[in-house]
Chain A
């Protein structure tokens, strides 16, 4: 029979190392503070350009995270709140959505129509039959732009349901939504 090795000689150094580690932990200064940005962001924007993170809060719902620093996928329905530009409560304004309909969408579900409502008023839909960039542009009457903000609810007649291409429900790609004075 062979003699056992004296394992006990490691016990004391191990215990000392453990005690030092615990002691160092107890003395460790508080975890580093993670600062927030507390700037005053001012009023809402009339034009939301997606590359500007300061206006992303106006994308109320139905948008996924920004991609390529400039655009976002939408869901089948999406909502944006905009500040009516000066004078629009008298003359109305022009709504413009800069978008792209990817080839994958057209190939799977064919042409898609985009419509919008603001304050209960429906704006005429527009159909996008070919893949590529496009603009959804409509006049918005002054009656819909009386308040400090106007919320536009957009809807696509067709979209890629979750699980068809990705796990996400996918509509179109949008890079800006804005109201400009007529």
Chain B
């Protein structure tokens, strides 16, 4: 019994350490992309919608049905906007990962202590900070579980020869594709395992099926998911991959980011030296392993290289948490090295303990600060979003304007339109907010969330809006004072129209259907008014949604006329959201009012629907 308890506590130790380091992460509310995923619930009108919601490529063409779609859909369906269950599931999945890694590392190193140590070293690494404190990064944790689960089952199959284990391992591996694309590396990891154990020649056939499945997945994924042609997620298969690999290797230990914290200079210097020291330690461990005939320990660095390889072409999107799965390889080699040093005793033991202490002392503060940062950002987001919900209860039917929203608040909480989750469509930032909130065009547009001076002034004069200051911990009603300020603002036509919001109805001149939820259908031809551009560089950005039924006769052609002059037509070739950008004539600059006509070449071809429906429109924005 006592022996069993000791063994059990060995398995639990890495879990306790990991949870203790990242505990603030369990308190994180929702942030950034979380709000977009939480919105999936609004798309689920019937069971027929489920396959599309689960498997449609989204967000840079990713298809992650379990770790993003089902995760948010199921938990938000049961718990609503309660963040805790999401974090509990993440922490429990990570506990499973730590137990599985202990087991795998024990098999690789032949030592229970090394297995537990590998899980502990991995479990406290600062690069796990984001997955351990942000629900949208759960895909890393769940993918780890599928990879480790499949590998564990494969190892057991190698040990027992049980066919059930082989086929279960195949099932787990295939399911892993629903967590993260990185799952594609599993066959390579298994090959590494076989090679490390000298079983490659005898057992390579058992990896043939997983390898074919990975190839099939890549082909299918490339076929169905749109290729990213530009921006942060564009793939660069060139010499930059070497420098990207270097950055990932040097950024694997956390200590190098101590300079972001307010700590003693000597400690920060120690942190900066951590990558060199850690890589030196790993090199010594590998050399010792090879010299003592333990060639299998080369599987550690090989694991890192294999698991990091899919993200190396993402030159412009280097992200700490992409090393979460690769780091298991370094952790296994380090754990073996440390236990070997301990066994040698004397100076080796002292050096090993010092190295482990150095790593822990430098990575834990960074790990903790990442988790605390996310918890604090989550609190800000919660106070803002639920504060607006309260304001809407106190002032039903009124437009809510938020004043003093800063860059952090906007990108953490507002960019992904959290208020639609609460059934609120009329929440805006006060005029001018877009100037002080830092712009990240690749993430979204601040201007689309701002109510311009003209309509803001009108709404306040009509008593149809309330204004809240968002600077403090709680939203503060400043309507009376702000109304006085708004009276000083110019009564101008906005440069932006959201067709799905009633506040802009005055600018929609003719050819528009009533608002349906968050959008509005046009007729075949529709007109609207905007203020002219502020500079010749500004363009007209139009967002629309094209239903699949609209494309049965080929692409839909969207034509646009501005003050009577034709713009180049825009072809809509695929169903779903579409964004068109039209150049504007320099003569329109500074005009108080311009008229825009949008026209599609045909109306929806469905006998049971309104035959005059043109296209679903979202926003028209000059910027």
Q: Does B205 contact A (CB under 8 A)?
A: no
**Closest CB-CB distance, A38 to chain B, in whole Å?**
5
**Closest CB-CB distance, B31 to chain A, in whole Å?**
16
Flag if A2 contacts B159 (CB, 8 Å). Answer: yes
Give A41's nearest chain B residue, CB to CB. B481
Flag if A34 contacts B481 (CB, 8 Å). Answer: no
**Closest CB-CB distance, B74 to chain A, in whole Å?**
9
Flag if B469 contacts A31 (CB, 8 Å). Answer: no
Give A59's nearest chain B residue, CB to CB. B404
What A residues does B159 contact at CB under 8 A?
2
- A31 touching B484 in the complex, CB below 8 Å, given contacts A53-B469, A56-B471: no
Q: Which of B59-67, B337-345, B388-396, B579-587 is the interface stretch?
A: B388-396
Give B88's nearest chain A residue, CB to CB. A21
Q: Which of B277-285, B472-480, B492-500 is the interface stretch?
A: B472-480
With A and B bound together, what is the CA distance between A64 and B482 in angstroms?
18
Q: Which of B77-85, B528-536, B550-558, B570-578 is the interface stretch?
A: B77-85
Q: Which of A22-30, A93-101, A122-130, A134-142 is the interface stretch?
A: A22-30
Q: Which of B160-168, B188-196, B242-250, B350-358 is the interface stretch?
A: B160-168
Give B476's nearest chain A residue, CB to CB. A37
With A and B bound together, what is the CA distance between A61 and B482 in angstroms?
13
Flag if A22 contacts B78 (CB, 8 Å). Answer: yes
Contact partner of B481 (CB less than 8 A), chosen from A44, A61, A79, is A44
Q: Does A66 contact B (CB under 8 A)?
A: yes
Flag if B472 contacts A4 (CB, 8 Å). Answer: no
Q: Does A88 contact B (CB under 8 A)?
A: no
Flag if A36 contacts B480 (CB, 8 Å). Answer: no
**Closest CB-CB distance, B235 to chain A, in whole Å?**
26
**Closest CB-CB distance, B103 to chain A, in whole Å?**
13
**Closest CB-CB distance, B327 to chain A, in whole Å?**
29
**Closest CB-CB distance, B422 to chain A, in whole Å?**
11
Flag if A81 contacts B488 (CB, 8 Å). Answer: yes
Q: Is the interface of A mostly helix, strand, loop or mixed?
A: loop
Q: Does B487 contact A (CB under 8 A)?
A: yes
Task: Encode contact with A along B365-383: 1 for CB under 8 Å, 0 otherwise.
Answer: 0000000000000000011
Q: Does A42 contact B (CB under 8 A)?
A: yes
Flag if A1 contacts B79 (CB, 8 Å). Answer: no
Flag if B78 contacts A60 (CB, 8 Å). Answer: no
Flag if A39 contacts B477 (CB, 8 Å). Answer: yes
- A34 touching B386 in the complex, CB below 8 Å, given contacts A40-B480, A60-B432: yes
Task: Encode contact with B along A38-77: 1 for CB under 8 Å, 0 otherwise.
Answer: 1111111000000001001110111111100000000100
With A and B bound together, what is the CA distance between A56 and B471 in angstroms?
9
Flag if B480 contacts A42 (CB, 8 Å). Answer: yes
Residue from B160, B391, B406, B488 whose CB has the most chain A CB atoms within 10 Å: B488
Flag if A53 contacts B390 (CB, 8 Å). Answer: no
Task: Encode contact with B along A119-163: 1 for CB under 8 Å, 0 otherwise.
Answer: 000000000000000000000000000011111000000000010
Task: Encode contact with A along B76-104: 1 for CB under 8 Å, 0 otherwise.
Answer: 00111110010000000000000000000
Flag if A36 contacts B467 (CB, 8 Å). Answer: no
Q: Does A168 contact B (CB under 8 A)?
A: yes
Q: Does B468 contact A (CB under 8 A)?
A: yes
Flag if A75 contacts B436 (CB, 8 Å). Answer: yes
Flag if B474 contacts A35 (CB, 8 Å). Answer: yes
Contact partner of B80 (CB less than 8 A), chosen from A31, A40, A149, is A31
Q: Does B269 contact A (CB under 8 A)?
A: no
Flag if B438 contacts A168 (CB, 8 Å). Answer: yes
- A61 touching B485 in the complex, CB below 8 Å, given contacts A34-B387, A38-B477, A42-B480: no
**Closest CB-CB distance, A29 to chain B, in whole Å?**
10
What B residues does A81 contact at CB under 8 A?
484-485, 488
What A residues does B436 contact at CB under 8 A?
61-64, 75
- A1 touching B438 in the complex, CB below 8 Å, given contacts A36-B474, A41-B480, A79-B432: no
Q: Does B457 contact A (CB under 8 A)?
A: no
**Closest CB-CB distance, A131 to chain B, in whole Å?**
24
List 19 A-B pairs, Cβ < 8 Å. Answer: A26-B78, A32-B386, A33-B390, A34-B387, A34-B389, A34-B474, A37-B475, A37-B476, A41-B476, A43-B481, A44-B484, A53-B476, A58-B481, A61-B433, A61-B435, A62-B432, A81-B485, A147-B488, A149-B484
The 9 closest A-B pairs by CB, nearest first: A61-B432, A34-B386, A37-B476, A151-B488, A36-B475, A57-B478, A65-B406, A81-B485, A34-B387
10 additional A-B pairs beyond A33-B390, A57-B485, beta carbons within 8 Å, are A1-B160, A4-B162, A4-B165, A25-B78, A34-B383, A41-B481, A53-B471, A56-B469, A148-B487, A150-B488
User: Which residues of A are at the interface with B, using a C-beta cutoff of 8 A?
Assistant: 1-2, 4, 21-22, 25-26, 28, 31-44, 53, 56-58, 60-66, 75, 79, 81, 83, 147-151, 162, 167-168
User: Which residues of B are at the interface with A, using a C-beta cutoff of 8 A?
Assistant: 78-82, 85, 159-162, 164-165, 382-383, 386-387, 389-391, 394, 403-404, 406, 431-433, 435-436, 438, 467-469, 471-472, 474-478, 480-482, 484-485, 487-488
